[in-house]
Amino acid sequence: MTPRLVASGLFFVVLLTSGGLPAAETPAQRDARMQWWREARFGMFVHWGLYSGLAGTWEGKPVGTRGGMEWIQQRVKADTDTYAKAAIPLFQPRVGFARPWAQLARQAGCRYVVFTSKHHEGFALHDSKVSDYDAGSVLKRDLFKEIMDACRAEGLRVGFYHSVIDWHHDQYAYELSKQLPHPLKGRPYPNGQRDHAKYVKFLHAQVNELVSNYGPVDILWWDYSSQDFQGQEAWRAFDLMAQVRAKQPKIVMNNRLFRIPEAGFTGMGTAAIASRLDPKYGDFITPEQHIPATGMPGVDWETCMTMNTTWGYSEHDHDWKANEMLIRNLIDIASKGGNYLLNIGPKADGSVPPESVRGLQAIGAWMKTNGESIYATAASPFQKLDWGRCTQKKLPGGKTRLYLHVFAWPADGKLVVPLATGPAASARLLAGGKPLVVTPGDNQTTIAVGAEAPDKIATVIELDVNGQPKVAKPAP
């Protein structure tokens, strides 16, 4: 800060009017705050709102069989009154709907849950004092509290997804962005001019309710900004983050109040990700529906993904990912140092589609045996392994444990690892602990793993070595 500016006192005015950036935090303090999230590796995403009752159907016809049906209002270009009239009668959460969600997450091996407090449709799941388009006003229930309580009762970390885009609020000035979606885009504001600052004030007030009235909140998952409308200009983003951190100092927040390279974005596509993040823009970057090709050293990241092709429930989407893909995605992401946020889209009554239950239970069965090869691990030391993936952990006494996730079992029963090891190297099956014979070498290490893969999806072998792993140079 230049002395002249300080002397003039002007910088106080700049600080107050430009919105306080998140309070300064040392790298060590940030690492301490992020530690549980980095070790968790696996969370459950939940998209649930009025759209869940429409289930991809509008006026008796399927809107589509693929893609996000939480966007149905935009897909059918319905104004908010028409949409609410059709959707509200169908949204009938049964009593106790949330506990099965939390139990499913825990049984799957998820360490945290992120659920939608408000999606683009603008309907709030909590009992809001600043809106009547909310569960409190419409259903006389606080669904947000029911979900938070259920997740905490299962010992899970819990946070919420909050849409800054709002297709209901009559001051949300959708003409300010060419890139952000809105059902009325291209049509004049039905209520004449709009003052977007009034919407932003509402946005801040509603977020303040969520971070003030429901106890500790572990994650805030913002969604989403565009290159032409983002950050302080669109949402008073720095003020919003500062307000949240003041109420929830340990909270972990994503990068989606912004859409600039410094915040981890290179464009508008869900894969347009930059492997960089200045912490003032958020705590992690958010590749969507894809897994980065390589890890991103020094950047916290989380891939969010659907189990079929839609985030919100659709009765027409039957394109479910196989259990093998779900499990191998988790392993692939962990091997690159990232987190996996896997989505369910419950139905209007809160019930979870059986295909989602089956998939999460399959992951849970694998994690029950192999979870230590995922939780609190670091990224693979190898650029690429033809037969699978690898994660690693430091052991006491300066050793390193490599978890070798074998997808393609060697036909000759010999697993070749591009690693230089000495006589101290030891290996065993993670499941059951059966010792395996290791042949060390300067350019490769061979492990006799036997003829049959114990787990056809991913068998995990522990390989312990002294010190840091010495990756062999690939043969010329």
Q: State the residues that interact with ligand FHN by CB under 6 A.
A: 68, 70-71, 223-224, 270, 288, 304, 311
* Distance in Å, CB of 265 to ligand FHN, minimum: 11
* Distance in Å, CB of 74 to ligand FHN, minimum: 9
Residue showing tokens 């009752």: 53
Nearer to ligand FHN, 70 or 462 (CB): 70
* Distance in Å, CB of 12 to ligand FHN, minimum: 37
* Distance in Å, CB of 65 to ligand FHN, minimum: 17
Nearer to ligand FHN, 163 or 243 (CB): 163
* Distance in Å, CB of 312 to ligand FHN, minimum: 7
Nearer to ligand FHN, 213 or 226 (CB): 226
CB-based contacts of 411, cutoff 8 Å, min separation 6:
none
Nearer to ligand FHN, 70 or 455 (CB): 70
Nearer to ligand FHN, 75 or 145 (CB): 75
* Distance in Å, CB of 91 to ligand FHN, minimum: 17
* Distance in Å, CB of 180 to ligand FHN, minimum: 9
Nearer to ligand FHN, 161 or 214 (CB): 161
Nearer to ligand FHN, 319 or 442 (CB): 319
* Distance in Å, CB of 306 to ligand FHN, minimum: 8
Question: Among 288, 306, 408, 285, which Cα is nearest to 355's?
Answer: 306
Nearer to ligand FHN, 164 or 367 (CB): 164
* Distance in Å, CB of 137 to ligand FHN, minimum: 23
CB-based contacts of 157, cutoff 8 Å, min separation 6:
36, 37, 40, 43, 111, 112, 113, 151, 218, 219
Nearer to ligand FHN, 146 or 223 (CB): 223
Q: Residue 341 corresponds to which tokens in the numbers above? A: 């946020």
